[in-house]
Amino acid sequence: MNRKPAVAGRFYEAEAKALRATVSGFLTGGSGPSGSLKGILAPHAGYPYSGAAAGAVFSALKNIPFETLVIIATGHTMALKNGALYCGGGFETPLGTVDVDEELCAELLKEKKLFENLPRAHASEHAVEVQLPFLQALRGDTVKIVPLLFNSSDEELLEDAGRALGRAMKGRKALFCVSSDLSHYPPGNIAELSDRSVLLALRQAMRSAAPAYFGMANGLLLDKCSGYLDTTACGQAAMTVGAAAALELGGDDFELELYTHSGKVSGDNKAVVGYGCGYYTKARNKPEPGCELTKTMKEALLAIARRSIEFQLKDGRVPQQPLSAWPEFNLPAAVFVTLTVGGRLRGCIGSLEPRGTLADMIGAYAVAAAFEDPRFGAVTASELEKIAIEISVLSPLTPVAGPEQVKEGVHGVYVKSGRRSGTYLPQVWEHFANKEEFLSSLCQEKAGLSADAYKEKSTALYVYTVDCFNEK
């Protein structure tokens, strides 16, 4: 049975001629992706608000040969444990009927713990439907769809579902469309800060091959902005599934095409909804994970570190950092903060894994280095002016097969065997004559292992790089 339109006349025109004219006007073309396209992100609001963004990314599909579009959308109308498919018939709009790819749906249903056929979840859902007129205007009835809804908060399930979807798409002429809006109902200025942070987090999740990073970023942003908005991304689950699917298909990047919000259309910025669109791609040249920090950003982060220590001395607590105009400051980050006096170590604390936003972690670890490093006494007010602060922002940990893959003078190294572990930052290389001395000291002096433990198969080695900067 075909699914009848649920939001024609509300989200878009119910009359075919008017609808085709509207959609054609939006399909004027964005810049398109620079890498190899795996999927797109498109918003799903009423066309007067989000049509321009949706049209910009759909226009990039004009000359790409594909036979199926998997629409990974937000489920608004009922709670979903798994991915909810609509497995038969087609979806009708005023422009005609788009058939469901029943073969691909059947393939997905083999993953019983991840997907189920649940037509009632689609009955009044708009998030798939609003994408269809764009597809129809481009390709008529030559493309089939796989309608798929998610709203679970189970990050492991979402990644597994995305990976399974990617595997099922391999060997087929298929692309995916993630249907999601961004923040809901903050003031326009807060929407800009939150939404651009979410979109940057999606890029970082792709570049780091870590879909769960996107979920962590949204959680931290929601904690910071809960007084202003209902959600950071209403399709967070769908965006995570899309990232995992793109990674399975060989993708490694997200390219933003356009960002806007409803206030820019209506002129009312009191309570807006954010819209972003872009491309999940495989970059021509593999992008580096991590955010590039400008000189001005680094100076601001060093100032946060110093102010946090001063605040702790005065008030006895670490100040919380507000949402920043720099999206990079609002994203999860692993950092170390090192304090020195006259070139000699005075304290060093940090984490190899992201535990909070970049700005919050720098403030927290600056205070920890000053007052909680067990090797030193607490910093005093009179001592603070003599202290120099150094910040190291870490790239994600990457496992290596053995010491031969460790780059001398470049990599920080984390070693782990059983319950014992330790790390040396890349800056520590200057204290050793060669790689053997560096790794032996790391194992013996820092991790409490035998000096040659790094040579053993039971020892796990990880490497990372750092963006290191200090007060001048």
CA distance 167 to 85: 17
* Domains 16-282 and 295-392 alike in fold: no
CA distance 165 to 163: 5
Residue 327 DSSP SS3: helix
CATH class label, 398-469 = alpha beta
Helix 16-26 and helix 132-139, axial crossing angle in degrees, nearest 10: 80
Q: Hey, CA dihedral for 290, 295, 297, 303, is it positive or negative?
A: positive
CA distance 411 to 394: 10
Question: Is there a contact between 3 and 119 (Cβ–Cβ < 8 Å)?
Answer: yes
What are the distances in angstroms from CA 119 to CA 47, 86, 123, 335?
25, 5, 6, 46
CATH annotation of 295-392: 3.30.700.20
Question: Is there a contact between 464 and 414 (Cβ–Cβ < 8 Å)?
Answer: yes
CA distance 214 to 202: 6
CA distance 119 to 75: 12
CA distance 262 to 157: 32
What pLDDT, on the 0 to 100 scale, is given for residue 288? 80
Q: In 194-291, at which residue ranges do the beta strands (DSSP E only) sit?
A: 253-261, 274-282
Task: Classify residue 316 as left (phi > 0), alpha (psi -120 to 50) or beta.
Answer: left
Q: Both tokens of residue 91?
A: 């979806």
What pLDDT, on the 0 to 100 scale, is given for residue 29? 77
Please choose, from the candidates 175, 228, 187, 229, the residue with its C-alpha nearest in 3D space to the C-alpha of residue 63: 175
Please choose, from the candidates 117, 186, 112, the residue with its C-alpha nearest in 3D space to the C-alpha of residue 146: 117
The domain limits of the chain are 16-282, 295-392, 398-469
What pLDDT, on the 0 to 100 scale, is given for residue 1? 83
Per-residue model confidence as pLDDT tens for the chain (472 residues): 899 999 999 999 999 999 999 999 999 878 999 999 999 999 999 999 999 999 999 999 998 999 999 999 999 999 999 999 999 999 999 999 999 999 999 999 999 999 999 999 999 999 999 999 999 999 998 999 999 999 999 999 999 999 999 999 999 999 999 999 999 999 999 999 999 999 999 999 999 999 999 999 999 999 999 899 999 999 999 999 999 999 999 999 999 999 999 999 999 999 999 999 999 999 998 888 777 899 999 999 999 999 999 999 999 888 889 999 999 999 999 999 999 999 999 999 999 999 999 999 999 999 999 999 999 999 999 999 999 999 999 988 889 999 999 999 999 999 999 999 999 999 999 999 999 999 999 999 999 999 999 999 999 999 999 999 999 8
CATH annotation of 16-282: 3.40.830.10
Q: Compute φ and ψ for 99, nearest 5 degrees.
A: -75, 150
pTM beyond 0.85, yes or no: yes
CA distance 4 to 344: 72
What are the distances in angstroms from CA 81 to CA 114, 116, 200?
8, 9, 27
